[in-house]
Structure 1
Amino acid sequence: MFSKNFQRKYALTDQGVKNVKKGAFWTVIVNLVVMGGMSILYLLMYGLMGTFTDDQPLPNAALLLGLVVVFLILSFVTHLQQYYATYGLVYNEVRSTRLSLAERLRKLPLGYFGKRDLADLTETIMGDVNRMEHVWSHVLGYLYGAYLSTAIIAVCLLVYDWRLAIACLWGVPVAFGLLFGTRRISARTSERTKKAAIRVSDGIQEALENVREIRATNQEERYLAGLNQKIDDHEKVTIQGELGTGIFVNAASVIMRLGVATTILVGAGLILSGQIDFMLLFLFLLVITRVYAPFDQSLALIAEMFVSQVSADRMNEIYDTPTAEGAEVFQPKGYDIEFDHVGFAYDKKKVLDGVSFTAREGEVTALVGPSGSGKSTCARLAARLWDVTEGSIKVGGVDISTVDPEALLTDYSMVFQDVVLFDDTVMENIRLGKRGATDDEVRAAAEAANCGEFICRLPQGYDTPIGENGAKLSGGERQRISIARALLKNAPIVLLDEATASLDVENETKVQGALSRLLAGKTVLVIAHRMRTVAGADHIVVLENGRVAEQGTPAELMECGGLYRRMVELQSESARWQLG
């Protein structure tokens, strides 16, 4: 139970807990070896005092030299082991933690990312893990090792003389009691600092993403003034936190060091009363120099350990979020997609309510309706990018909520309106559709999606890096690469969300021809706002306010005179609009 609580408190993996234990063990050994070095100095002093008071011969130089050599060898070996256990192993822990967080994020439903912005998640994976790495390597092993070694030394000192032992060690529990008593204050300050830092990151990211809009509206001065205010607020909160922490840490250090004064005072009193001799006091003074040393670094960083609780909580929040899991094998009987009274709520706001329809294999099913009616939500639910809150979605009779998303998505090709590309070459961006595809297969898919025309104009052709999210390409070019990716995958289910929205008329016609070849014999779910795009669909589902308003063939819906017909007529009127 202790290990589990400890593991969660510091966001450690199972191996990380073992690493901390190894670090604490070797810290104890190092502290005891160093204390052994003090005993050599005590023996030398004891021998020298004997020559002055009792005419005893000088200590055996060969024996002392041998002890020093043994001490140096032991010190080197134990310090080396301690370094490896507290630093070397921890760097592996950092790698494992980042990979486990990334793996966890990969399995989380898409709805989770709607609640956390990019800057926040980036800060967790990079900033919070970095902060925890410092605690794992610089604090935990040293601190818990210091606890254990001090406890062992305290028992030995109590055997020698309990009065001097108390005078020597009383400051240690008082100092740490002060720090632990104020950790909630440190944690609250850290939380404010973290929130201020995220606001700065959000502001910088927002400025970079919207720099064209800011300049176009002449808002540079106002926007930069707001960003400067966020930076100033972060600096102010950080200074306040550092000042408060510094006061508590320095106060604890002073209290602990008062043990030196009390040891001298108590020892002097005992010597004057004849209860102990000078050598025993000298022994305790030697011990003091090493008893406090292990805590020096820990005291300076223990406040960081308290502050790190905020980072650990943020990491645990990711670990605690339920993942989208299911069977690793997906074997449907056909590829009909059946929505059965599907409901979905986003942040307690109901988006879909009782939606039922079937997208049949070999047919094109179109979802149309006003903006905000739930069309894109249906497409994402169909691919289990989100999980339904009511009802069920089945593919070939299999409830997709029982299938692992990765296994499910092997049978899906998707082209969404918001195209996502990677900072890589054109070739590799298209190859994402099919792992291991040959260059010829990639080029064939690109040609089918009408990409060849602009790719040949790029400096390095297919090997041209396209920048972050395809920044070097136009909107239409980016969308055609996304279509080429779907063509390359050639999955039995195809989801299209405004797939041709960014194309001019000529390219739209060419891409539609390529899509026609892609869609043959597949289950196709198309989302479109332009009614002429779906005029040839086999089945149309009209959504309004998250409900199915009507469904049927285009001809049937035109005869009904409902929402679909009204949308067709409105778009026909807008098509005739011209500048006057």
Structure 2
Amino acid sequence: MFASLQQKYFLSDKAMAGVKRGIFWTAVTNLITMAGMVFLYLVMGAFVAHLTSGAELPATLPIVGALALFFVALMAGNWQQYYYTYCIFYEECGNQRIAIGEHLRKLPLSFFGRRDLADLTETIMGDAQTMEHAYSHVLGELFGAVVSTCVVFVGSLFFCWQLSLAAFWSVPVAFGIIFATRRPMAPVFDGVRAAKVKVTEGIQETLECVREIRATNQEAHYLEGLDATIDEQERFTAAGELLNGLLVNSAFVVLRLGIATTLIAGAGMVAAGQIDFMVMFAYLLMVSRIYGPFDQAISMISELFAAEASAKRMRAVMEEPLAEGAQEFAPAGHDVEFSHVAFSYGAGDDGRAGDQVLRDVSFTAREGEVTALVGPSGSGKSTVSRLAARFWDATAGTVTVGGVNVASVDPEVLLRDYAVVFQDVLLFDDTVMGNIRLGRRDATDEEVLAAARAANCDEFVSRMPDGYQTMIGENGSKLSGGERQRISIARALLKDAPIVLLDEATASLDVENETRVQEALSRLLAGKTVIVIAHRMRTVESADKIVVLRDGLVAEQGTPAELKAAGGEFARMVELQRDSAAWSL
């Protein structure tokens, strides 16, 4: 049973041990409470005997001592129960979140391409919270109550089996109602979660696109759609709560019917002379307490069912295969070679089964040279750069660095030798210095400042109120595009990796900023293996080598002068851009 629970609810061995102890201490606490009812029964019996037959009352001191012992035992039991049903699981769910975060960090980018980020966020936060609440408030309480109730039921059979059946028949019936509706309720839980994810997606999209929405005067239209999504989520949630409330309250009503049947059966047996009044009184005391431990478990048992689905989703993330590899990377130089490389977004990758991006790509980007990848949109340029850094793995062929197949190296180890400058820079709501230091966390302040100066950051940082300690806002919202790009280059300079990937690093900059960024890049690229992705032909005319991609194939490669002289695809692209520039003037 415990192995099944551990699998079903995605529990660690430590948490499973906590479950067992939580069940034990819940049962013990319930039995201690029931012992208090027995004590009350004995005291009341002594008083009734004194009133009816003149029997001597028991001494006060033993009663006070027994009460003190009862309260001490109850407090100790409650403390142990709280620790093993709450504290252990809060720690467990924290560890689960960290474990999922660590696992996500090591997954290939293809996983994120095929998964909705709002759904992942809901899994990490919402599902983990559902499981945390179900674990701490239901799991131990429910099974502990079952154990203690079984013990009390078996014990009560020795006193009066008829009243025992009258008192306990409602427990299995109430839980039968709950568990019988478990399968029909599953789609309801899934619908509520899907509606929550949809709302999260809508809010996230609104925040990300707020400038575009305002620029196109679409606020009213967009908010109308978001309101409809929120209203739909409210309807799903209200319907789910209503249905679940009806079921739970039906179970409560059935459970409490045990009190009525005990009273009716007891009164009949007392009237018939089968039992005396004190036996009936004892059973009424018992039923006043025996259903209590089930109250919280029944009211939250739907969370326990929902936690199963949450555990499945979290387990599915944790079972995603990692991009594993060797922890050692000692290449003979840093030439990046593509040999007959093919890549497709197959089944499970980005959801585009059979979409082949690269077919038979072969070229070498040599150390100390700048290799430029050019070609029309969709030709595979960005895919090539991602395969070079093992963001994805090639479907066929090999990508090697210094003779070492990148697919055989752990991605985190491999990326120590890479510096990547993207067109869309990602910055954090931190200081300028904090953002640059991401390039190398153990860098000294002097090294960070040297990298910043080399990237021409001094020019704009000197105008900031707190210099390099100025907070730059979420994703660098207080900076211009050129300033953000120079911080990104400063990061790459600080990392000082032997391989540099530039993905349209200057495409969105004006002429003045592009000049400053190009000066910073010239310092970054010296002596490195450089792969540049560019659409502007003038950006790559100074490259050592041009690789022209079209339809996932290498259409031609060579120096800029050679390709211009050949009059092929590159020459045509240069001519087209020259004509376009002349026309725009």
Q: Same fold (TM over 0.5)?
A: yes
- Number of residue equivalences: 578
Q: Does 1:18 align with 2:17?
A: yes
User: Which ranges of structure 2 fall in alignment gaps of 5 or more residues?
Assistant: 346-350
Residue 557, structure 1, aligned to residue 556, structure 2:
no
Let me know the Cα RMSD of the aligned residues.
1.7
**Which of 452, 456, 461 is matched with 1:450 structurally?**
456
1:362 shift after superposition: 2.0
The equivalences for 1:368-517 within 5 A come to 368-517=374-523
Distance 1:552 1:19, change over 3 A: same
* Counterpart Cα distance in 1 of 2:356 and 2:314: 29
1:223-262 correspondence runs (5 A): 223-262=222-261
Label 1:567 to 1:523 Cα distance change in 2 as closer, same or farther (>3 A). Answer: same
> 2:485–2:517: 8 Å Cα contact kept in structure 1?
no
AA in 1 matched with 2:275: I
**1:200 equivalenced with 2:206 (yes/no):** no
* C-alpha distance in structure 2 between counterparts of 1:301 and 1:244, whole Å: 14
Is the contact between residue 483 and residue 499 of structure 1 (CA under 8 Å) also seen in structure 2? Answer: no
The 1:419–1:4 alpha-carbon spacing in structure 2 relative to 1, beyond 3 Å, is farther
Q: Is the 8 A contact 2:428 2:476 kept in 1?
A: yes
Structure 1 residues 92-131: aligned runs within 5 Å: 92-131=91-130
* Other structure's SS at 1:22 match: helix
> Which string of whole-angstrom CA distances, capped at 9 and with x for unpartnered residues, describes residues 194-246 of structure 1?
11112112112212221222122221111111111111111111110000000
**Amino acid of the structure 1 residue aligned with 2:562:** E
Q: Partners of 2:6 and 2:503 in 1: how far apart?
A: 44
Counterpart CA distance in 2 for 1:183 and 1:472 is: 52
Q: Partner of 1:189 in structure 2?
A: 188
**Which range moved further: 369-378 or 87-96?**
87-96
Structure 1 counterpart SS, 2:583: coil
* In structure 2, C-alpha distance between the alignment counterparts of 1:72 and 1:98, rounded to whole Å: 38
The 1:503–1:213 alpha-carbon spacing in structure 2 relative to 1, beyond 3 Å, is closer
Superposed CA deviations along residues 169-205 of structure 1, whole A, max 9, x for unmatched, are: 1111111111111112322111111111121121122
Query: Deviations along 1:280-300, whole A, 9 cap, x unmatched?
Result: 222222211221010011111
Q: Secondary structure at the match of 1:350?
A: strand
Per-residue displacement from partner, 1:473-524 (whole Å, max 9, x unpaired)? 1111111111110011101111111122233333433432332332222211
Q: Which amino acid aligns with 2:492?
A: A
Correspondence for 2:27: 28
Contact 1:450 1:507 in 2 (8 A): no
Alignment partner, residue 315 of structure 2:
316
Aligned equivalent of 1:569: 575
Counterpart CA distance in 2 for 1:12 and 1:438 is 42
Taking only the aligned residue pairs, the percentage that are identical comes to 59
Partners of 1:383 and 1:412 within 8 A in 2: yes
Is the 8 Å Cα contact of residues 187 and 309 (structure 1) preserved in structure 2? no
CA contact (8 A) 1:479 1:502 kept: no
Closer/same/farther in 2, CA of residues 474 and 514 from structure 1, 3 Å limit: closer
Change (3 A) 1:3 1:459: farther
Q: What residue number does 1:180 align with?
A: 179
Q: Which amino acid aligns with 1:547?
A: L
Q: After superposition, what is the alpha-carbon deviation per residue over 1:25-50, rounded to whole angstroms, capped at 9, x for unaligned? A: 21111101101111110111121222
Name the SS for the 1:536 alignment partner. Answer: coil
TM-score between the two structures when normalised by the length of structure 2? 0.95
Distance between the aligned counterparts of 2:465 and 2:192, measured in 1?
46
Taking the aligned partners of 2:268 and 2:148, their CA distance within structure 1 comes to 28
The 8 Å contact of residues 389 and 415 in structure 2, kept in 1 or not, is answered as yes
Once the two structures are superposed, what CA deviation does each residue of 1:242-274 show, in whole Å capped at 9, x if it has no partner?
000000000011111111122222223333443
Q: Distance in 1 between matches of 2:154 and 2:91?
A: 36
* SS, match of residue 584 in structure 2: coil
Once the two structures are superposed, what CA deviation does each residue of 1:421-456 show, in whole Å capped at 9, x if it has no partner? 111111010011011111221111112112111111
Q: Distance in 2 between matches of 1:509 and 1:226?
A: 43
Quick one: distance in 1 between partners of 2:405 and 2:576?
Answer: 38
- Aligned-partner SS, 1:338: strand
